[in-house]
Structure 1
């Protein structure tokens, strides 16, 4: 085997020495390009892709996470000024579960585990401070478990006790949350966070819990005695839902007319959340004795032969004395009928549900130069869609102006630039592969064209070897020695300059 490789190596060296210098340079450059291209492809295919395990970490959390990664012999990188830990993409989910089981990262928040190693000489003030610190940490962890909230921090101000009830102050709390990208907390979620904190802290009213996000936006609505319609978060949610529904209806309508991204709609609604009840009684007169009889009194008085009858009573029981003289017989009758009817009464009880629309303000901007007739048609369509009521004080504004699409254009340019970079990278790879193929083909063609000359040289060597075998059959003498010397010179000439040697031998054959 060693002889085979030695022979193969010698053949390669001989072939290399016979090549032209330009061909040698071409082969060297080709080999370097091929090695570089394949090395780059192998590096890209085998390189580790690192992804963030955690971001925006505190110094303590970063140190604890790095220590645990070192214990598990996991490769990692630090980025973002040391507050971001990057790990291999294939290990990211397993490592997050492992870190969660270890309570990392804790975001610098401590819970009731602070009392696990309490010191003997702790004062009452320190114990009280640690208690509210631990309580805030536990509430922060509970809030962080809510979907859409990445980070939460709760700060509690304990109540101030006093000998006088009027001077006592209730506890207060502030909650800062970091929301996930693209997530917005609804009014129900904010109210849930407020109730969670208020229920977990003693003497903490719900109205004393303030919720803000890391962008400085106030998420909770403070109570206002002059305007208490926002004391219930459902009122705010109802108004937002109403405005969103009306805006979606207008977007659907205008998209079919103007096309997408050719208009902008903004809706503002004022709703009345006061609960009202009213009761009214309406009386109407009785017409043509058609009412219901409530009571009826009939009085009848008759008199005959001078004696009149009446209702039984004292006057009728008193003896009557006959007077002198005679009178004529007469009769008398009197009737009195009193009828009382029920009064026509109608009672109406009205209950007004909260959420009545008091005023609407709608603005529509069209991204093009539109004639007045088309603008009027758009105005009529929008007015009908929103139920425009001028007496209610509704405002409707339809205008036309050019939109500023610089942000969209920049995003589109970035996408196109990225696509162009990917195409350039693909062209580079394709060009390298094509160059390798062309150089390889050129080398093969060159070697193939050189093959006949080499074959002719080998024929000359064979003929010389045959002559050598024939000469060796005889006993050497002076002539044979001379021939051997000439033969050696010819062999040296053939090896040093095979082309000229072949021409020389060919001329000898022609002369003979």
Structure 2
């Protein structure tokens, strides 16, 4: 309690020692701090708001707001009147209540509509209710996908007729509101198409069209020549097209600029499995395998009968043997067998080979910033020359491997893109506005910092200095205790110790009395004020040489007494 009383007395003494201006500043700063702390406490005590419903229609918002008014629940409406905020602790209970009352479901009731059908409902009405219930149920199911924020399904039932020419198939269209601007992947789109087709009787997948909020056709029904192809074949074709477009973009963007080239490719792949067997003979590569030679010699003689007896039966002499030959023949026959080299090939062509490629490339005009007559920046566009387009065409043809013999087509055109570059002035204004907004957001925090700085340096720091000076102010009791302590130290040290002479610190009144006595003694001095300052300076110098710390405390106490 003594410490608290002493602190209060010191604070009161410090406040009384201030001038009138300082007191007004202290009071004003104290009130500002109290008001700021009170506002901060009120702001911190407010309960955070949570989203009760978003992206709702005006009718739904009106119904929900009227119920909140009846329940006396505070709420906030967004600027577009499509989002309702309520205290976060009540979001769950209010959602359950309004969902049970049917206020959060809008007109998207599913087959619950059939439960309210009356006895007088016609067959046509039941069909319409059934169709709307089917559309609402499919919309709810599609909205359960992570990428889909909202979905709306429209079904056109097929018309059955005994005549084939009058029979129409069922059709369906799906409008999606995606989360963000990214395009829905093909797998998710195909899943939605299959879901809708399987849920509606007589509906084929190629009769389902899916679009998003940006009017982009997500399903390729009616414009894809590979409708009958399997998913794997479509995926291969898409990858080939994407790879070709990416190569063209990477090739041209460093030349014409980023975002100044657009390319679209269509690749026809041949997925037919073909097996070719070929047998080739090389007449120049013959090798002698075998040789067969046959010699044949025939001689015929005409020998007479003669006289029967020995002479006719005895062979004639050798010398005259040829004289009786009437016919002779000689025949030679040579047969040579050769082996001719033969090549047998069994070729099986891989599926997915490129059958035909069509590629369209659009290059933006050259653009440059210039100044008009008023000095305002203006963007000017210049068409590219035919020579430059020919170079671009040759480079693209070589990069993607265009083959005219295969029927490939390549088109390169120069057109001005609709998306213009940012005006430098507008860009500078946008940056300036960004920093202005950032400064406005940081202004409250900066104000708090300035207030804290002012409070510290104008209130707490002077108070701390005065408190420190008041605490360190020399008093007779402290001087006596200091003298007693030094005397005790001298007595404990004995005769052999070093005895320190106690310093007698006089109060301000004593010093002033001594100075007045000296001034009265020296009455002949013509300038008493100058003499007074000289004496005070001399006393301060003497005291500083003997005990600087004590003299510094004494000077601070003098200053405090003068301030009072």
How far 1:425 moved relative to its partner?
2.7
1:61-210 residue pairs with structure 2 within 5 A?
61-62=60-61, 75-88=74-87, 105-210=104-209
Residue of 422, 428, 440 corresponding to 1:405: 422
Q: For residues 371-410 of structure 1, what are the structure 2 equivalents within 5 Å? A: 386-387=399-400, 389=402, 394=410, 404-406=421-423
What displacement does 1:202 show?
0.8
Q: What's the offset of the Cα at 1:161? A: 2.0
Unaligned 5+ segments in structure 2 are 1-7, 302-324, 370-387, 471-564
Deviations 1:335-374 (A, max 9, x none): 79899999866565545625556244556779999xxxxx
Structure 1 unaligned runs (5+)? 1-7, 294-298, 307-326, 370-374, 452-512
Give 1:417's match in structure 2, choosing from 426, 436, 440.
Answer: 436
Asked whether the 8 Å contact 1:271–1:359 carries over to 2, the reply is yes
Distance 1:302 1:128 in 2: 109
Rate the CA distance shift 1:79–1:447 in 2: closer, same or farther, 3 A: same
* Deviation, structure 1 residue 278: 6.2
Paired residues of 1:143 and 1:152 also in contact (CA < 8 A): yes
The answer to whether 1:428 aligns with 2:425 is: no
How far off is 1:197 after superposition? Answer: 0.8
Residue 208 of structure 1: SS of its match in structure 2? Answer: strand
TM-score, normalised by the number of residues in structure 2: 0.53
2:499 aligns with: none
Q: 1:445 to 1:174 in 2, by over 3 A?
A: closer
Partner of 1:499: none
| Aligned counterpart, 1:317 | none
Distance 2:200 2:296 in 1: 87
Structure 1 window deviating more from structure 2 (192-201 vs 339-348): it is: 339-348
CA displacement at 1:198 relative to structure 2: 1.0
Residues 1:233 and 1:95: Cα distance change in structure 2 (over 3 Å): farther
Residue range with higher mean Cα deviation, 41-50 or 194-203: 41-50
Q: CA deviation at 1:113?
A: 1.9
1:269 to 265, 270, 276: 265
Relative distance call for 1:254 and 1:214 in structure 2 (3 A) is closer
Task: Report the CA distance between 1:79 and its aligned residue.
Answer: 2.6
Moved more, 101-110 or 211-220: 101-110
Q: CA deviation at 1:253?
A: 8.3
SS in 1 for 2:181: coil
Structure 1 residue 200, shift from structure 2 partner: 0.8
1 CA distance for matches of 2:258 and 2:140?
45
Please state whether the residue corresponding to 1:127 is helix, strand or coil. Answer: helix
TM-score by length of 1: 0.58
Measured in 2, the distance between the counterparts of 1:331 and 1:179 equals: 105
Aligned equivalents of 2:421, 2:125: Cα separation in 1: 58
Give the conservation status (yes or no) of the 8 Å contact 2:189–2:210: yes
Separation (CA, whole Å) in 1 of partners of 2:23 and 2:284:
131
> How many corresponding residue pairs?
401
Q: Measure how far apart 1:180 and its partner are.
A: 0.6
In the alignment, the residues of structure 1 paired with residue 121 and residue 252 of structure 2 have an alpha-carbon distance, to the nearest angstrom, of 69
2: CA distance, partners of 1:386 / 1:114: 60
Q: Secondary structure at the match of 2:283?
A: coil
Quickly say closer, same or farther: Cα 1:101–1:336, change in 2 above 3 A.
farther
